[in-house]
Amino acid sequence: MNTLLSVSIALLGGLLMTRLFKPLKLPSVTAYLIAGVLIGPYCLGALGIEGLGFNNAHAVENLSLISEVALGFIAFSIGSEFRLDELKKTGMQAMVIGIFQALVATLFVDLALYGVHLMMPDKLSTSQAITLGAIATATAPAATLMVVRQYKAKGPLTNLLLPIVALDDAVGLIVFAVSLGIAKTIIVGTTDFVSIFINPIVEIIASLSLGAVMGWVLTQLEKMFNSNTNRLNLAIAFVFLTAALSMMKIEVGPIHISFSSLLVCMMLGTIFCNICPLSHDLMEKTDKWTSPLFALFFVISGAELELNVFTDIAIVIIGMTYIVFRSLGKYYGSYVSAKFTKCSPEICKYLGITLLPQAGVALGMCSIVASSPEMSGQGALVRNITLFAVLIYELIGPVLTRQALKAAGDIKPMSIEVKNRRETKLKMINEKQ
C-alpha cells in the first residue's frame, strides 16, 4: 500500500507543481524535479509519515524499476530521430559536433580540476579529477526530450540536437571507460589494456547489435497484427523486453560483455522507425502513453537528489568548478564544431546551451566508480560532486534549453488564433460552472 501511495503522491505532486509553475512559464521538467525534492527524504519525507513522500533513500530506490523503464522509452523515442532521410541532411554535422563537444568538455573539466588538485591535494586526487572529467561528457536525454515535446519544438536546432544527445551516450561510454582505466592505473600502478580499450568497444558493439536484432524482430511481429491497439501493445512490450535484456552481463575470460540500456533501446527505435512503414503513427501513440511515466521519472529523480552535499564547502567549491568548466566546454565545443561544419548562426550560438542538462547517465557512471575496488575511498567524493552538479543542472538546464530553442526560433509563440480559441473554450467552461 505504501508503495502505491508514494507513486500516486509523486505523480499528483508533480502535476500540481506544474500548475504552480505555470505563471512563471518554467518547463514542466523543472516543476517535476522540485516536486520530487519536496516529497523526498529531506523535506516531507523527513516527517516520517508513511506514504507521505519518501522517508529515506531506500524508499526511492524501491521505485528504480520505473526509472529504468522510463529511460528505455526515452531512448526508444530518441532512436526515432535517426531516420535515414533526416540523417542525410544532418548526420555528419551531428557526428562531428557530438564527438568534439564531448571531448572538449572532458578536457576543460580535467584541466580545471587538476588545478584544484594542485591547490587542495588533500581534497581532490588526480584520479578523481580524471574520472570527473569523463563524467562531464554525459548529457541528459530525458530533460531535453521533455522540453522539446512540451513546447513542440521544431526546426534546424531541434533536428540536430536530439541525434547529438543520443551520440553523447556512446562517446561518453568510451571516454569514461578509458579515463576510469587511467585513474585505476594511477592508483594501482598497473595498466589493464582490456578494461581501458576492449571492454568499452565490446559494450558499444554488443548494445547496438542487440538493439538492431530486437528492432528487426519487432518489425516482423508487427506484421501479424492489424489492430493499431495491438501494435501499440507489442511495441510497448518490446521496449520492456529490450530494457530487461540490456541488464544482462556476460563474461568471456577477461572480457566483460555488458550492455548500455540507452544504446540498446535507442537502436531498437532507430531500426524500427527505418524499416517499419507504420512506425510514425505508433511512435506518436507511444509518446502519449508514456507521458505519466516520464512525469514519475522526473519526480523520482528529484527525490534522489541529496541536499546534504551542500554542507561540505570543499564539495561546493569543486562542484562549482566542475559546473562552470563543463558548461564552458559544452558551449565552446559545440560553437567551434558547429562553425566548422557550417551550421547556421542560430545553431552555433544556442546549441551548446541545450546540451547542459545532466542526470541519469552521469549518475550511472559515478555508481560504477563507487563500486570499483580500485577506487575504494575515492568514489564517494566523485558521487557527491556529480550529485551536486546534477542538482544544479537539472533545475536550471531545462529552463536554459527552452530559452535557447525559443531564441533559435524552434519554439514558436502561440498564434493569436489558437490563443483566442483557448480563451473562448475556457470562457464557455466557466459559464457552465
Instruction: Indicate whether 328 pLDDT > 90.
Output: yes
Q: What is the pLDDT of residue 124?
A: 82
> Measured between alpha carbons, how far is 164 from 98 in angstroms, rounded to an integer?
5
Regarding predicted confidence, which is higher, 120 or 371?
Answer: 120
> Measured between alpha carbons, how far is 144 from 402 in angstroms, rounded to an integer?
9
DSSP 341-404: TT--HHHHHHHHHHT----HHHHHHHHHHHH-GGGTTTHHHHHHHHHHHHHHHHHHHHHHHHHH
Mean per-residue pLDDT, 215-231: 87
Find out whether 69 and 243 touch, Cβ atoms under 8 Å.
yes
> Measured between alpha carbons, how far is 112 from 333 in angstroms, rounded to an integer?
16
- Which of 93, 212, 218 is closest to 162 using CA atoms? 93
Q: What is the pLDDT of residue 412?
A: 80
Residues in the chain, overall count: 433
Q: What angle do CA 326, 259, 246 make, to 5 degrees?
A: 120
> Measured between alpha carbons, how far is 109 from 321 in angstroms, rounded to an integer?
8
As to burial, measured by CB atoms within 10 angstroms (0-12 exposed, 13-18 middle, 19+ buried), residue 150 is: middle
**pLDDT category of residue 269 using cuts at 50, 70 and 90:** confident
**pLDDT category of residue 108 using cuts at 50, 70 and 90:** very high
Q: Which three cell numbers stand for residue 353?
A: 546551451
Find out whether 167 and 420 touch, Cβ atoms under 8 Å.
no
Place of cell 521544431: 154
> Measured between alpha carbons, how far is 152 from 333 in angstroms, rounded to an integer?
27
Q: Render pLDDT for 371-416 as a digit per residue (tens, 0 to 9).
A: 666 666 677 778 778 877 877 887 788 888 888 888 888 888 755 4
3-class secondary-structure state, position 26:
coil
Q: What is the pLDDT of residue 152?
A: 84
